[in-house]
Structure 1
Amino acid sequence: MPAPSGTRARRRDAVQNRERILDHAEPLLEAEGLEVGFHRIAQELGVGVGTVYRHFPDRDALFLGLYERYLERIDELGEQLLTHPEGMPRVVAFVDGTIAFSVHRPVARRVSARVRQAHPEAVTVGRWADEVAAAVRAAQDAGELRGDATATDVAVLAGMVADLATVDEAQRSLLLPRMRAFVLDALRPTGSERPPLPTGPLSVSDITAMAHQQGRV
């Protein structure tokens, strides 16, 4: 028997409320830290704290909800990879997608680390590993990518650049395009032509500010 229309409406409202909580929680976690309280999230959302607890009984459940969102976004990026020509264009798309993901969701790595601790069974690894590996092999076969590089090398290099997404925007606008260019140069075969770097280098004051921001000094 179909559910009454009122029941369906309540379920739809519950799903919408859950998504709204996640929408408001993510930027708060980024701005104020992973220990931000549910009262703060409820205040930002304009609801009672009981509404937040009804959907997420504890902070780990909230992190898991965000992590599931991240997996959906990664799946979307993986599907987008397949729209690019095989070989180096697909490798470049993977690098760019990894960087863009971190720029738009800078708290994702910290949330994912907490999920790995609290819900290791929920962690999935390498959903798109086979596609990236195939892109690397095709680029190597075409002579566009150095023969001794692996898909995991590409993933690590892309992740290293993506980690810079947390720096201030003024520095990031210079740093990310430049470091991306260095990564792509490192992946090209020896003797390949290297295009000019897209931006100028950071100044010493820029590097000092970035180091302080990331807690390195």
Structure 2
Amino acid sequence: MSELSGARRKRRDAAENRERILDHAEQLFEIHGLETGFHRIANDLGIGVGTVYRHFPDRDALFLSLYERYHQRIEELGETMLTRPEGMPRVLAFIDSTIAFSARRPVARRVSARVRQAHPDQVRSSRWEPEISAAVRQAKEAGDLRDDVEVTDVAVLAGMLADLATIDEPRRSILLPRMRALTMDALRPVGQARPGLGTVALSVEDLTALAHQSGRG
């Protein structure tokens, strides 16, 4: 093996190790909380803890790298949103993609909150924010969205539904569709037909269990 090819192999191996560390750290943070230590990550992966520290000198560096991953994925979802017709379809695509992202990456919101608190200068806005604002305006002009709704209202509602996407099954499949349907009703102009909620409500017992579910991280 030439010196050049050997160097390329080392760089490739280092990049693969970095991605493995990020993947596994994300899993552990979701299960055990954000304070999971580097020794646990290293032991699970069968690597030395020094390898983890070479890629991520401290916990904040690891959180920032995960945050960058999440930001990139959100940007990709924005591109998908633009494949939908203008107006309300894009508003709904934004809400549903926010929910889907949170369901696939349930720890992302906690990691992002940690970054916002510790490194506010590193928080990045999505380049799709103007497109979402335009979709809200177009939906109101078309009569598909109530006149007094603003883009910030839509963003807050999307975030609330995304939080529900992180709860355990089977409660998530019961609660999330109903809350989404109620959210859609709240966004519709007065007088539009209201479809059924589609699922049965949570039982009192399930709601009590959910309320007492211990937080992670």
Give the TM-score range, shorter chain: over 0.9
Question: Per-residue CA shift, 1:36-56, capped at 9, x if unaligned?
Answer: 010100112121111111100
Specify every segment of 5 or more residues in structure 2 that has no aligned partner in the other structure, as ranges: none
Alignment partner, residue 23 of structure 1? 23
Alignment partner, residue 111 of structure 1? 111
Alignment partner, residue 185 of structure 2? 185
Letter in 2 for 1:77: L
Alignment partner, residue 173 of structure 2? 173
Q: Percent same amino acid at aligned positions?
A: 70
When the two structures are aligned, how many residues end up with a matched partner?
A: 213
Alignment partner, residue 201 of structure 2? 201
Shift of 1:126: 4.2
Residues in 2 aligned to 1:116 and 1:95: alpha-carbon distance in whole angstroms = 22
The correspondence of residues 34-183 of structure 1 with structure 2, limited to 5 A, is 34-183=34-183
Secondary structure of the structure 1 residue equivalent to 2:165: helix
Question: Per-residue CA shift, 1:47-71, capped at 9, x if unaligned?
Answer: 1111111100111111011000000
Shift of 1:214: 4.8
TM-score, with structure 1 as normaliser: 0.94
Letter in 1 for 2:186: A
Letter in 2 for 1:102: S
Residues in 1 aligned to 2:130 and 2:121: alpha-carbon distance in whole angstroms = 21
Residues in 1 aligned to 2:201 and 2:106: alpha-carbon distance in whole angstroms = 23
Secondary structure of the structure 2 residue equivalent to 1:130: helix
Is residue 177–residue 199 contact of structure 1 (8 Å, CA) maintained in 2? yes
Alignment partner, residue 32 of structure 1? 32
Secondary structure of the structure 1 residue equivalent to 2:209: helix
Letter in 1 for 2:171: Q
Residues in 1 aligned to 2:29 and 2:94: alpha-carbon distance in whole angstroms = 26
Is residue 167–residue 213 contact of structure 1 (8 Å, CA) maintained in 2? no
Shift of 1:132: 0.6
Is residue 75–residue 126 contact of structure 2 (8 Å, CA) maintained in 1? no
Matched, 1:10 2:22: no
Shift of 1:119: 2.3
Specify every segment of 5 or more residues in structure 1 that has no aligned partner in the other structure, as ranges: none
Shift of 1:171: 0.3
RMSD: 1.3
Is residue 158–residue 183 contact of structure 1 (8 Å, CA) maintained in 2? no
Residues in 1 aligned to 2:117 and 2:154: alpha-carbon distance in whole angstroms = 26
Is residue 136–residue 151 contact of structure 1 (8 Å, CA) maintained in 2? yes
Shift of 1:131: 0.8
Shift of 1:12: 1.7
Is residue 67–residue 111 contact of structure 2 (8 Å, CA) maintained in 1? yes
Shift of 1:108: 1.0
Residues in 2 aligned to 1:205 and 1:57: alpha-carbon distance in whole angstroms = 45
Is residue 145–residue 187 contact of structure 1 (8 Å, CA) maintained in 2? yes
Residues in 1 aligned to 2:45 and 2:198: alpha-carbon distance in whole angstroms = 41
Is residue 167–residue 214 contact of structure 1 (8 Å, CA) maintained in 2? no
